[in-house]
Amino acid sequence: MTIATRVPIGDRIRAQRRSAGVTQRALASAVGVSPAYLSLIESDKRQIGGRLLNRIAEHLGVPADAFTAVSDDRLAADLNEVARTLPEGGPQNAAEFVAFSTDWANLVLTLHARMLTAEARAYRLADRFGRDPQWTSFAHDILSRITSIRSAAEILNDFSHMGDAQRQRFTDTVVDESARLTDVARDMIAALQSATAVDAAGADVREVDAYLQDHANHFPAIEAEVEALNTAIPLGGSPSQRFAAARAAVEAGMTDMLDNELVGTAFRTEGALKRARGALSRYAASALLMPYDPFRDKAIALRYDVEELGRAFGVSFEQVAHRLATLARPGEDNVPFAFLRVDPAGTVSKRLSTPALRLPLFGACPLWVVYDAFSQPGRTLSQMVDLDGERFLFVARALEKAPRHQAQPATRFAVMLGVEAAFADRLVYGDAFVAERDSLITRAGYECLSCRRERCAQRAHGACGV
Amino acid sequence: MTRVLVVEDEPHIAEALVFLLEREGHDATVVTDGEKALELLSSHDLVMLDIMLPGRSGFEVAAAARTHDKPPKVCVLTAKGQTADRERMAAIGVDAFITKPFSNKALMETVRDLLAAS
């Protein structure tokens, strides 16, 4: 269920008013309401929006969006997602909590992310110690080395009367086996560190996800700069060759601009910063191949037919799908697409959520059509899903990427676009569901851990804590 | 003289076992794989048996030992101390199960007990 996440703004209005040195009475008078009514607004006992909000902002000399922030709504939505995973159900007032303090809200999310990471690490390590041949071998080696050392040392200690040659053999055993034990310990620590590196990469992914969502997956400055580049990648060659050419053109002409876009961001690790930089570079390359205005116009004309758009712009299904999820210029009535990419094991490797459709960080619900796509390669599949009472249209297709080296197998992914059902009639894929017959709707969840559909035959495991 | 078969692919552990067994007057023979152990089972009174071996596993060797008319005593010495392995060996009917690393003293007490009972 998507929970309303609009953060209350009364506190913000009061803070801005006080910071501007304006009394409640004076502001009320200036914007044409009674002081009592303004007091109710500042206490969040009255909803406010539109023209009155603009008048207050104008009088206080701040932009209207000073009272609201996309990042706050994202924070509240993330907190609701955390609450959803609790078996006993969590509090429903995430938006108020964010309004109280974004720092505390961020702290809760950080702690939750660390808990998930720790759980995943514990699971992985338990799995490794139990089954992974590498860890079984480590355990066997360590115990064998210690057994050799202990037996030899006890013999040297307990039997003083033995020949020099025999004594030397057991002494050599202690020395040799100690050296081998050191090697095993070193290898094991290196393996543990590589496991930790994987966890750190997972945290980086979450940070970059949050960054992209805070920008609604749209970067106007990059769009403008790409337009100013006035470079076109000629048609011809494979989509991946054209994308590589676009990346090269972007890095040649926009390096400083892309670096500057990240100045002032607060990524916690160098890895996250690099990942974000890569995401912006790919964003720019995508914008170069599919310039905003012509692409949007063509998308509307073709009713968002991904394959037709791919042919029109000489790009792949995935590139079109990803680009569609970035068409979010403020003030335009665009279709808000969420984008998901998974591998055949179900692991999410790329996701762009929207406020309406929060995509899971790990594996999604197995009933989602994105997984069916693997069994029907070459076909674009669509599905109308009911997720806890809210309906969405999903469009998915499996893709295969040629290996970089001949000896390697091709990599396989499936990508999916998701959009609220209210927009379905604007998409060519929505035509099949116009009837809204119950038999056409798939009742599903987001992912098993937070899903309450206890009787689902596809359930992989109980909801968290159940 | 009691004949003891040491089935162990770690040479330093095997060497220490032979030293300890010979100190107590036993005749110890070392083999490093399960296949060779199967050949020599019948001619020994006690088998000191590792589980993880090249060729046949310690489980197979232990099971084969139980089929002999006059089965040797079997003492498992292993780094695989999981309950499942212990239960599997108990089901086969081994006489002792010792996990590595062990103390020489405790090991030899077990050997004495097993040989006294045979």
The partner residue sitting opposite A173, judged by closest CB among B12, B20, B104, is B12
Contact of A176 with chain B, judged by CB distance below 8 Å, is answered with: yes
pLDDT, residue A9, reads 77
Enter the ipTM.
Answer: 0.92
Contact of B79 with chain A, judged by CB distance below 8 Å, is answered with: yes
Per-residue pLDDT tens, chain A, 466 aa: give them: 333 445 667 877 888 888 888 999 999 999 889 989 889 888 877 877 678 888 888 888 887 666 766 667 778 888 887 887 776 667 777 887 887 777 788 888 888 877 877 777 776 666 556 555 667 778 888 999 999 999 999 999 999 888 899 999 999 999 999 999 998 888 888 777 666 655 566 677 778 887 888 888 899 999 999 998 878 877 778 888 889 999 999 999 899 999 998 888 878 788 889 999 999 999 999 999 999 999 999 999 999 999 999 999 999 999 999 999 999 888 888 899 999 999 988 888 888 888 788 887 767 888 999 999 999 988 999 999 998 778 999 999 999 887 766 777 778 999 999 999 999 999 999 998 877 677 788 988 887 766 767 778 887 655 443 3
B37 vs A359: which has the higher pLDDT: B37
B81 vs A445: which has the higher pLDDT: A445
A405 burial type by CB count under 10 A (0-12 exposed, 13-18 middle, 19+ buried): exposed
Cα–Cα distance for residue pair A336/A352, rounded to 1 Å: 11
Contact of B23 with chain A, judged by CB distance below 8 Å, is answered with: yes
CB contact under 8 A, B16 and A148: yes
| Residue A97, CA atoms < 13 Å, CB-side half-sphere | 20
Q: In the structure encoding, which two tokens stand for residue A104, read together?
A: 């505390």
Cα–Cα distance for residue pair A342/A44, rounded to 1 Å: 41
Cα–Cα distance for residue pair A170/B36, rounded to 1 Å: 26
List of chain A residues whose C-beta atoms are within 8 Å of the C-beta of residue B23 = 159
Contact of B20 with chain A, judged by CB distance below 8 Å, is answered with: yes
Q: Beta B3-7 vs B46-49: how paired, if at all?
A: parallel
| Residue A87, CA atoms < 13 Å, CB-side half-sphere | 6
List, for residues A48-64, the tens digit of each pLDDT value.
767 888 888 888 888 76
Comparing A231-235, A297-301, B11-15, B105-109, the range with the smallest average pLDDT is: A231-235
The residue type of A81 is: E
Helices A133-158, B104-117: inter-axial angle, 10-degree rounding = 90
Contact of A106 with chain B, judged by CB distance below 8 Å, is answered with: no
The partner residue sitting opposite B79, judged by closest CB among A140, A151, A154, is A140
Contact of A138 with chain B, judged by CB distance below 8 Å, is answered with: no
Cα–Cα distance for residue pair B109/A90, rounded to 1 Å: 59
A393 burial type by CB count under 10 A (0-12 exposed, 13-18 middle, 19+ buried): buried
Q: Mean pLDDT score of chain B, rounded to an integer?
A: 92
- The structure's pTM equals 0.53
List of chain B residues whose C-beta atoms are within 8 Å of the C-beta of residue A147 = 10, 13, 79, 100-102
Task: Return the closest-CA partner of residue A118 out of A204, A203, A206.
Answer: A203
| Calculated CA dihedral for residues A103, A51, A331, A257, nearest 10 degrees | -50
DSSP three-state, residue A412:
strand
**A to B CB pairs, distance under 8 Å:** 54
Cα–Cα distance for residue pair A325/A217, rounded to 1 Å: 7
Among the residues of A101-163, which ranges form H helices?
Answer: 102-131, 133-158
pLDDT, residue A296, reads 96
Helices A35-42, A24-31: inter-axial angle, 10-degree rounding = 110
The partner residue sitting opposite A151, judged by closest CB among B13, B23, B52, is B13
Contact of A170 with chain B, judged by CB distance below 8 Å, is answered with: yes
A326 burial type by CB count under 10 A (0-12 exposed, 13-18 middle, 19+ buried): buried
Contact of B102 with chain A, judged by CB distance below 8 Å, is answered with: yes
Cα–Cα distance for residue pair B118/B115, rounded to 1 Å: 5
The partner residue sitting opposite B10, judged by closest CB among A148, A155, A169, is A148
The partner residue sitting opposite A152, judged by closest CB among B12, B103, B105, is B12
pLDDT, residue A8, reads 67
